[in-house]
Copies of this chain bind each other. A is one copy, B any other.
């Protein structure tokens, strides 16, 4: 494209009247460089618009300062937010982030993505794909890349960061119970996701602790508003249901819609609580009471865990499962049952 090639270290050295090694020292902040020399070199760098060749540096230092993020569907609010949090944190630690979107949910895709990232010599990988199968697949990955899973249950042998889904679900369910409902139904997420399993477990625990009857959860949800709507039509047809805890906000939206179509009022006839606190939840009709997850923070912590693993080897401090406490956000989609 452009005629002359980009300047290299030797060019800078020539202009500054030093050896290329001195330029290297300036670039790498070595202590023993005279102040005046340093300035001369920096001036030359600016003059030539020099930028170090990352490949050459990588070749000799064996470090790419690149991290990989594997994510199933970056379109969902959760994964997208985490990616954002990760990138911000990575920048501060001077790492690049390359992404690998998963084509499918199976073990093969996950391993392919890992492989792809390893080809690029990433120093570590964060996996945002909290399916049971994905976690299982991850355990077969050779230990020469640091790995951190996000929201991947308590599976040992893998460093992970997660929101305490169970606690959040329990809190939401208890809240509905406190409001006076005899029991709470659950619109569950996909069983293959750990988050869904944990939320269901939290819901179940709250119910059994209080001695409330545990109805079969509504299954078939895939996190989308559409499936929330589909299950919602069945829920709307069942007059026994007075309170529903949804596995996430999107499904809650679908449920709200189905309820409205059936003429069942929220919260007068049925109370609804979601999970995630997506930015839109506040503007649902009615505003959704939900459990807030700090995705950004999850992303940041995942990054920190990964950088730790890279810096101090894989076993430093065991395999901590960092857990973030979610909080209940009360809005108007839940109330006591009609007396």
Q: Which residues of A contact B (CB under 8 A)?
A: 1-2, 6, 51-56, 58-59, 64, 66, 73-75, 77, 80-81, 83-84, 87-88, 91, 96-101, 103, 116, 118-121, 143-144, 224-226, 228-229, 250, 253-254, 256-257, 260, 279-280, 282-285, 287, 313-314
Contacts and interface: CB of A to CB of B under 8 A. Distances in A.
Contact of A81 (B75, B225, B253): B75
The 5 A-B pairs of least Cβ separation, nearest first, read A55-B58, A225-B283, A98-B98, A257-B283, A80-B80
B283 A55 contact: no
Given A87-B100, A97-B99, A98-B98, 5 more contacts: A74-B87, A80-B80, A91-B100, A99-B99, A257-B284
B59 A87 contact: no
A48 to B, nearest CB: 13
Given A58-B55, A99-B87, A254 B226 contact: no
Query: Copy number in this complex?
Result: 2
B55 A64 contact: yes
A224 B280 CA distance: 8
16 contacts: A53-B121, A54-B119, A55-B58, A55-B64, A59-B59, A66-B120, A74-B87, A80-B80, A83-B99, A88-B103, A91-B100, A91-B101, A99-B99, A225-B280, A256-B285, A280-B280
